[in-house]
Amino acid sequence: MTPIRPPTTHDITSTGVLPEGRRVGLDGRRVPILRGRIHQAAVIPAMLAAATLTITAPRPAGKAAFAVFGVSVAAMLAASAFYHCHARSASTKLQARRLDHAMIFVAIAGTQTAYWLLAAPATVAAPMIALGWIAAGFGIRHKFRHLRLSTSTGSWLYAALGWMSVAMVPFLVDAGADVLLLVAAGGLVYSVGAAFLVARSVDPWPRVFGYHEVWHLLVVVGVATHGAGIVVLTHGR
């Protein structure tokens, strides 16, 4: 059986060509074996779950919510998997990294769109959805213009877009405590994961499952938690 090897996409090189076998990440450390594999494994299940829930949703708003949520989340997971596991040359890796960071904005805006569609009247939902996607577009533009291989920029924009969800709290309260709890729990999971990523404070098995993998795992947990909230909101009303 061929052993699983760490992806080489995080190698630092000045030649623009990533040498096979050099497994040093952007943080100067050896790339763990599972780098990118968690998101890679989650793409197909996320797509299948979203498709099933879209088809079985009892009303049009629910179908639209699951479709937007599913596509946006699957796009984020796929972009992450491609960047971490499949990008090879330095130029491809740069564009893949930009796409990876940009798709986080898509996932946030898509999640907010799903909740606005289900929890608020159209007169409120429509302008808030538009505002969220405009903000996401600004973030995507920023990432593609300024993100480099060796540096990151504009991380505060994720938090700014995410905190726009506070505006829907009154509507979530009306929807029920269970929905509000799931939304808050998902946001907390994302926030804790981001804090761990920045601090690199939780690094359980550096050669296999490091601090970045902790972040990726918590992203999947956050996606599942917010997806559960959409299920409750769709079928509980």
Ramachandran area for residue 170 (φ above 0: left; ψ -120 to 50: alpha; else beta): alpha
CA dist 221 to 34, 164, 218, 225, Å? 17, 21, 5, 6
The 10s digit of each residue's pLDDT in 69-125 is 999 999 999 999 999 999 988 899 999 999 999 999 999 999 999 999 999 999 999
Task: Provide the token pair at 25.
Answer: 């990440």
Distance CA 113, CA 138 (A): 17
Distance CA 111, CA 103 (A): 12
CA dist 42 to 37, 64, 199, 217, Å? 9, 22, 25, 10
The 10s digit of each residue's pLDDT in 161-218 is 998 999 999 999 998 899 999 999 999 999 999 999 989 889 999 999 999 999 999 9
Task: Provide the token pair at 183.
Answer: 């939304």
What DSSP letter does each residue of 5-50 carry, written as one string? Answer: ---STT---SSS---TT--B-TTSSBPPTTTTHHHHHHHHHHHHHH
> In this predicted structure, what is the pLDDT of residue 20?
41
Q: What is the chain's mean pLDDT, rounded?
A: 88
CA dist 45 to 35, 56, 70, 217, Å? 19, 16, 10, 14
